[in-house]
Amino acid sequence: MIRAAFLDRDGTMIHDPGYLADPAGVALLDGTAAAVALLRRSGYTVVVVSNQSGVARGLYGAAGVAAVNQRMMDLLAAVEPEARIAAVYVCPHGPEDGCPCRKPRPGLLLRAALDLDIDLAGSLAVGDSSRDVEAALAAGIPAPRVLQLGAPDSRPSLLAAIQHLLPQVSISRGGRTPGVIP
């Protein structure tokens, strides 16, 4: 089994203008490529998990989501050749659909774990909302390995978050709550 780093896409890895379907609008957040490369050098397979309710709302189709994901991966590789994403899992459903893969439910992470033979207890997760934290915890990722980025106006880079989180991986799981970087 492998260890994975589950990363949210919008607001965590790329700027989130809301319902992004045009690959020309993709802009990496500061430190994203370096963070992905650091995770890979630290032995993690990087997996992106993202809610994309714009599909259910009819704002764009699966092809738009795929084009944005591809552009993000191309930009990562252009900035840092080691910044490679192993897989991207997307929930195209809306909040009212009751889908088990839509975060805060753990379906995306559980499916990735099955597909890629991931050890969830040895994995970690970073996102920008409580939905990301809830999904990771529900999937079985221990609290010290789950991090929610703080407020958008003062949010640290993904690299800073990963640099904060990696040392936490060796801390005992007992009683810790997920971290929040303000």
**Active site positions, annotated:** 8, 10
Specify whether the CB–CB gap between 105 and 138 falls below 8 A. yes
Helix (H, G, I), strand (E, B) or coil at 95: helix
Return the residue matching tokens 């499916």: 111
| Ramachandran angles phi, psi of 166, nearest 5° | -55, -45
CA end-to-end span of the chain: 33
> Counting every residue, how long is the chain?
182
Measure the CA–CA gap between 140 and 122, rounded to whole angstroms: 9
